[in-house]
Structure 1
Amino acid sequence: MVEMNIKELYEVGTTFETAIGQGTKSERARIPKNYSRINFPEDMINTLVNYDKEINFLVAGEIWCPDFQLNSTVLKKFTELNNNFDMSIISMGRGKKFVFPILGVENMKFPLILVLDKEFNILGIFEERPNVVHEVSNFEDIKLDYYKGRYLIDSAYEFIDIMNKAK
């Protein structure tokens, strides 16, 4: 069986723009809409702009997935605020085939986002949606707010919490 390590997966991944470009017209149209809903508070912007360690985000997901559209857009904003942040996107298929064995899991929800240090060590994992959304007993109650970007800030805080594990 062919195996790939995290660094190899990262290197074969595509850019955010390439991944988005593979979507339908309506899927692509959601990206600027989601982006416009990202409203980071000033202290978060300062934290991100002044972050001095290199962080790589390996995203396994697909443009047709609303969770991917929302959470990868948050990471795109991170990469625009600081050159120490980089993102690479692989397909769900590669995630299942190569990332699951690395993590020692049989199943996880997508997008699956690995937050990596500059040596491609895993600092933490973001699975599908921010934890605050996972903790809601009935997703239907908040579904519309979630898809309208109400929880983008929660995703951002979660990414920062994971990044802060970097040495």
Structure 2
Amino acid sequence: MKALFEKGISFEEFVNRDKDTHKEKTLEIYHQIEVDEELVQEIKTIDRIIHVLVFGEIWCPDCMINVPALQKMADINDKIVIRIVSREGNEAYMENYAVNGKPKIPTFVFMDENFQEIGVFIEQPQVVKDVVAKGKQVEIIVAKRKYRKGEYVNDTIREILKILKKS
């Protein structure tokens, strides 16, 4: 995973790969993110290097929301180091994280300073997955609309912090 991480690109390079609407939407979400103050303080307490290998694509709606959330965390604490690689061509690396046999994006693989895996975030925050799992169409539509506008970003950050605290 270390070699793949080292081949990855930064958030800025990731966003700049697109010259159109995907870049605009991703940056719009990024600039709208307001991290709750208690989360900011929690992010600042991370006192060791966390390498995050992101499998993502700029055109993916879930990537447009969750990759900026992760970048905000890295903006708050420079011990969080992100590198992004394409899903395409890296499916073999993603096999361990597949959901129902399919690689999902974004997939964030969190690793310590020695590139030992400490946890994974896949696709969406659990709160959105829970609404979808209930199967109530109206609730799903409302939740997805809010999610696409970036209203669950703090949930993504909370979930990532839980992963990092377990390790």
Compute the TM-score of the two structures, normalised by the length of structure 1.
0.88
Residue 71 of structure 2 corresponds to which residue in structure 1?
76
- One-letter code of the match for 1:157? R
Q: Secondary structure at the match of 2:3?
A: helix
Q: Say whether the 8 Å CA contact 2:52–2:82 is kept in structure 1.
A: yes
TM-score (norm 2): 0.88
Distance apart, 1:8 and its partner CA: 0.9
Letter in 1 for 2:93: F
Question: Which consecutive residues of structure 2, in runs of 5 or more, have no partner in the other structure?
Answer: none
- Pairing partner for 1:22 from 14, 17, 28: 17
Kept in 1, the 8 Å contact 2:56–2:106? The answer is yes
CA distance in 2, matches of 1:38, 1:53: 24
Contact 2:97 2:103 in 1 (8 A): no
For 2:109, give the aligned amino acid. L
CA contact (8 A) 1:55 1:115 kept: yes
Check the 8 A contact 1:111/1:127 in 2, yes or no: yes
Structure 2 counterpart of 1:11:
6
| RMSD value, Cα | 1.6
Distance 1:56 1:79, change over 3 A: same
Aligned counterparts, 1:63-102, within 5 A: 63-100=58-95
1:35 lines up with 2:36 in the alignment: no
Deviations 1:44-76 (A, max 9, x none): 111112321211111001000111011110111
Say how many residue pairs are matched. 159
- Following superposition, the deviation at residue 104 of structure 1 comes to 7.1
3-state SS of paired residue (2:166) = coil
One-letter code of the match for 1:45? V
Deviation per CA, 1:10-48: give whole Å up to 9, x if none. Answer: 011111111111113211111231123322221211111
Task: Say whether the 8 Å CA contact 1:60–1:94 is kept in structure 2.
Answer: no
Structure 1 gaps, min length 5: 1-5
Q: Structure 2: which amino acid aligns with 1:9?
A: L
Q: Could you say which residue in structure 2 is the equivalent of 1:161?
A: 162
Is contact 1:61–1:92 with CA below 8 Å preserved after alignment? yes
Match of 1:3 in 2: none
Between 43-52 and 155-164, report the one with greater CA deviation.
43-52
Instruction: Find the residue that maps to 2:24 and give its secondary structure.
Output: helix
